[in-house]
Amino acid sequence: MTLAIRPITEDERPEFRRLMGLAFGFDPTDEGAASFNAILEIERTISAFDGNQMIGTVGAFSLEMTVPGGVAPVAGTTMVSVLATHRRQGALRQMMRAHLDEAREHGDVLAALWASESSIYGRFGFGSAATMVAAEIESVYATLQGPPKGSGKVRLVDVEEAKQLLPTIFEKTRLLRPGMFDRSTVWWEQSFFRDQESQRNGATRYRYAVYEEDGAPRGYVQYRAKEDWDDDDFPNGEVRISDLQAIDLSADDGLWRYISSIDLIRKISYWNLPPDEPLPWLLNDPRRLTRRISDSLWVSPIDIPAALTARKYSRRGRLLIGVHDAFNTWNTGTYLLTVAGDEVSCTRTTSTPEVRLAAADLGAIYLGGVRLLTLASAGRVEGSPEDLRRADTMFSWHPAPWCQEMF
């Protein structure tokens, strides 16, 4: 099928948004359009046209993402949709080709996304690199062991004070964990503080609590509360955490103690708990914390030498990595990775690789959360046992990768 693939124009914004609504099952509103237009990087959009009809959409956010020991420029792949009338006709493949070519020209070393369906993006070089944990606990079982870990206090702040305090805290926490990305002023306003009533699902507007030690803010939690009473008029409310950021264990402990102490609440839920969050080890009764693990961030290497030199490693040494990429064919080749402390280099070579894997699997291990040996056990990485163990140690990292929000 012959399609025209190009960025949208200013007057095509409403149609771009309408197509997304058809694909994702929502009705665009004027309120939502204002926020959408504020964060849309129109020059980084890609649309497919069948004649004069727009039938597909892709967008990119220009992100700085934390990687093990550093940061890297990343294309945040987003807004991917194809009209149901044009599925299985090559539209997505053509748009992804144009999108990843644009990301390469833009200077991004990686592309990253949240997948609406996990079966779609492996063919385009994306690997599942981070997980999220949907967590829930009844408040009666949410008591923490021992005394508080720090001497700080938690206080509630209004949205105006939150706008002053939270970005400073977040700028510190987002550099601590691979997979997190920066938030621009526009992003803070439109994607974090914007509080549409239609998004509350019967709960309150956002509430903000900040943990401070010696007057210095060291953590925050953004949440909603939902009032409810059971048939016997006993409180049956819920706290729904949207974002919890803590610079250290004292702040994390203090914020969870605050959340668990809110009156008239029976259930506490957090849609996106980090996979290695210490909460289960802080609880008196950790079995009561129910956890459902799911994939979150998917990563695709665009510039392998730049990507591999942007991060740090857990072991010194040299490793010859053979990469196959059927979609981004420029990635296919062998790379010599050399790690000498904080000095990292990566160059193409004609030498025989010691480990061999697909670009999508390199994306999966890149942030350090997926073990190379696990992929090898699944037959996805090849090499001698000694080389695989060495590579596995080099790419491993603590803390585990985690992405703080969908984009």
Segment 196-239, tens digit of pLDDT:
888 898 999 999 999 999 999 999 999 999 998 888 888 889 99
**Is the pLDDT at 306 greater than 90, yes or no?**
yes
pTM: 0.95
DSSP state of 229: B
Mean pLDDT score of the chain:
96
Number of domains in the chain: 3
pLDDT at 29: 87
Closest to 194 in 3D by CA, of 156, 222, 154: 222
pLDDT at 2: 86
Distances (CA, A) of 390 to 124, 189, 211, 355, 371: 28, 44, 41, 10, 12
pLDDT, average across residues 373-386 = 98
Whether residue 259 is contained in a domain is answered as yes
Same domain, 327 and 233: no
d(CA 300, CA 67): 13
How confident is residue 55, by pLDDT bands cut at 50, 70 and 90?
Answer: very high
Same domain, 51 and 167: no
Per the residue annotation, which of 36, 61, 121, 206 is the catalytic one? 121
Active site residue 335: no
CATH of the domain at 50: 3.40.630.30
**Is the pLDDT at 125 greater than 90, yes or no?**
yes
The model's pLDDT over 388-405, given as tens digits with 9 standing for 90+, comes to 999 999 999 999 999 999
Whether residue 207 is contained in a domain is answered as yes
Whether residue 368 is contained in a domain is answered as yes
pLDDT, average across residues 302-308 = 98
State in Å, rounded, how far the first CA of the chain is from the last one.
Answer: 30
Whether residue 150 is contained in a domain is answered as yes
Same domain, 202 and 268: yes
How confident is residue 30, by pLDDT bands cut at 50, 70 and 90?
Answer: confident
pLDDT, average across residues 292-303 = 98
Alpha helices by DSSP H, listed for 82-227, are: 91-106, 159-173, 185-187
Same domain, 239 and 144: yes
Same domain, 74 and 154: no
Same domain, 233 and 320: no
The model's pLDDT over 249-275, given as tens digits with 9 standing for 90+, comes to 999 999 999 999 999 999 999 999 999
Same domain, 326 and 229: no
User: Residue 330 sits in which domain range?
Assistant: 303-395
Same domain, 80 and 211: no
pLDDT at 231: 84
Active site residue 208: no
DSSP state of 398: S
SS3 state at 272: strand
